[in-house]
Structure 1
């Protein structure tokens, strides 16, 4: 097993993020690796195809602030400095790849819902990260198991 030096845990700030963070913290401790947290806020214009007839800039700012607060709370639980917490905006898989390269990450940890059928065909962030990463990717199963 490789000895990881720098681990990037990409989380979605849902209730399930705790499980991903537990696994990331355990991996970082086991490998004596530096752990970084990342959350990507997807712009509403991306989520809704860019044709929004209303100004959602205030809503976007609120989403950004909520994400910043939540990410800070997760960092406190893990005793991580602010320099190891990253809040970006854009398409999650692309931003995860970009930060992983910038940080010279050798392991990315993401949550995966293990979708099947149509949801699998439509893709997911975990799938996008896996297929574009230059380093190892650990997909931690989250949500209900069936």
Structure 2
């Protein structure tokens, strides 16, 4: 059974966001979930317009809202989302039909997106990886902030992605959170008929300087045995979730850091979806986002699904 029954799609009016909206709709249809589409107009934009044009702030907000509603309706129509309609005469400029809603909000984009997630008790936020402000720098600023501060899982859709995923990679560090990532990966791979790879990135102990004075075997035979032990742990952790699935691969990947290693691995296997937990085994809970997850979010060559900690 899917973890995602209430999905929010946060959109601007770029082609990247259009792709993300279509992917959100695909997940909604597949999981028979509710979908809420939201566009946030930054309050600073309205303030600057009002100060420049000397228009009363109430009139400016009304005009911006009306124009944005029209653009959002056009975007929804272009995405071919049947059943969606904005009801612009309602106070909240929000319409609903068959569990599908859309709205325009005014304010700080990150705060309003998180408020939308809370208002709808959303399980998943879907956004484009890139924003209009930083298309060349990996995940956009708002996307990263929503992963850090939001209460829901976050799917960041790569700009060029369309249709089903074909190569899904799950980062596993043997924590409880990564076990959930394995379960999610197995479920998504089954639904998209995709190949599933479970990978554990590790720092080779035989390359650590302070081990040189300890009786640690550094022979090729020991290294192979060490890798096999890690692979066996992967298989044991995954067994309850991948039983009967023919297209599952297990890999262990040496790297200087977990985050950089995961990004390199995703590039090597040409993954089109990475799944990681927001906090791994070595991350202290007080940090807003685990270092591995943040590196993957920023530098991943593919779409990324970040799973937030669930209440125990």
TM-score bracket relative to the smaller structure:
0.7 to 0.9
Query: Counterpart of 2:84?
Result: 80
What is the count of residue pairs matched by the alignment? 139
Conserved? CA contact 2:46–2:64, under 8 Å: no
Query: Counterpart of 1:65?
Result: 66
Query: Counterpart of 2:144?
Result: 127
Conserved? CA contact 2:39–2:103, under 8 Å: yes
Mark the runs of 5 or more structure 2 residues left unpaired by the alignment: 86-94, 161-300, 302-312
Q: Name the SS for the 2:15 alignment partner.
A: coil
Question: Which string of whole-angstrom CA distances, capped at 9 and with x for unpartnered residues, describes residues 85-140 of structure 1?
Answer: 111001111100011011000000011226439xx7xx611111111111100111
> TM (normalized to structure 2)?
0.39
Range with greater deviation from structure 2 (58-67 or 21-30): 58-67
Structure with larger RCO (C-alpha < 8 A, sep 6+): 1
Conserved? CA contact 2:46–2:61, under 8 Å: no
Q: Name the SS for the 1:17 alignment partner.
A: helix
Conserved? CA contact 1:7–1:33, under 8 Å: yes
In the TM superposition, what is the alpha-carbon distance from 1:59 to its structure 2 partner? 5.5
Question: Which string of whole-angstrom CA distances, capped at 9 and with x for unpartnered residues, describes residues 59-97 of structure 1?
Answer: 654432221112223344312242311110011111000
Aligned: 1:106 with 2:123:
yes
Distance in structure 2 (CA, Å) of the matches to 1:74 and 1:116:
25
Conserved? CA contact 1:44–1:60, under 8 Å: no
Distance in structure 1 (CA, Å) of the matches to 2:151 and 2:15:
28
Taking a change above 3 Å as real, the CA distance of residues 124 and 55 of structure 1, as seen in their structure-2 partners, is farther
Mark the runs of 5 or more structure 1 residues left unpaired by the alignment: none
In the TM superposition, what is the alpha-carbon distance from 1:47 to its structure 2 partner? 8.0
Query: Counterpart of 1:141?
Result: 158
Distance in structure 1 (CA, Å) of the matches to 2:109 and 2:142:
7
Q: Name the SS for the 2:157 alignment partner.
A: strand
RMSD value, Cα: 3.0
Q: Name the SS for the 1:16 alignment partner.
A: helix
Question: Which string of whole-angstrom CA distances, capped at 9 and with x for unpartnered residues, describes residues 3-25 of structure 1?
Answer: 31100000002233220111001
Larger Rg: 2
Conserved? CA contact 2:46–2:60, under 8 Å: no
Query: Counterpart of 1:30?
Result: 30
Q: Name the SS for the 1:89 alignment partner.
A: strand
Distance in structure 2 (CA, Å) of the matches to 1:2 and 1:37:
20
> TM (normalized to structure 1)?
0.78
In the TM superposition, what is the alpha-carbon distance from 1:46 to its structure 2 partner? 7.7
Q: Name the SS for the 1:7 alignment partner.
A: strand
